[in-house]
A = this chain, B = another copy of it.
């Protein structure tokens, strides 16, 4: 069993053009910076990206967009990116907007072997279009399908060589859900340790869900909205 790869280039080596990728993160928090850089370098296009957001101009998935590698985004919020808007309005880019909780739960459903889930979000709105509606106990639910993704690319704080992952703070977000959902799951971590160095009770994603792991480098971890208070 060897899940460790040398770097992001090796981790994404066989991702083909036209693949469906899940990319972890919320805004720019907890995004797989190294793998995104390698995907940009690799230049494969026609990607379908499932990710809560689409990065910003010049960072995160924004880099893939600028490089015209993305055919379709499946996201809940894409408002931070001018290039995204340009491509969308020009028809170069497709977008499927999914309520955030639905997006998260459809990832989890995949990882838990559930083909579909009933969720309330979007009932009575345009999100309902084309979906089965069902009533349980007087409330209405939409039948939402589990995602089918070729690769899931996530970023963790720590990981061990067996693929066990630990996330830090709100950088957890979609990462463990997507990690469960990839046919092949790639994890980049800030610190790669030996098996046994992480307390088995603290592991968020068991290694069984992770196929490739490497220690990333040069994390910028850009802050989108720097808000502070004054001392005193």
Q: Which residues of A does B touch, CB under 8 Å?
A: 105, 112-120, 136-137, 139, 141, 166-169, 172, 200-202
**Ranked 6 nearest A-B pairs via Cβ:** A115-B136, A202-B202, A115-B118, A114-B117, A116-B118, A114-B118
Known: A115-B139, A169-B201. 7 other contacts (CB 8 A): A105-B112, A113-B120, A115-B118, A115-B136, A117-B117, A172-B201, A201-B202
Contact residues in B for A116 (Cβ distance below 8 Å): 118, 136
Separation of A105 and B115 alpha carbons in the complex (Å):
14
Highest count of chain B CB atoms <10 Å: which of A116, A118, A139, A141: A118
Q: Among the listed B112, B169, B201, which residue makes an inter-chain contact with A166, where contact means beta carbons less than 8 Å apart?
A: B201
Report the minimum CB–CB distance from A60 to chain B (whole Å): 23
A201: B residues at CB distance < 8 A: 166-169, 172, 202
Query: What is the CA–CA distance of A228 and B139 in the complex, to the nearest angstrom?
Result: 52
Q: Give the nearest-CB partner of A115 in chain B.
A: B136
A199 to B119, CA, bound (A): 31
Q: How far is the CA of A118 from the CA of B132 in the complex (A)?
A: 15
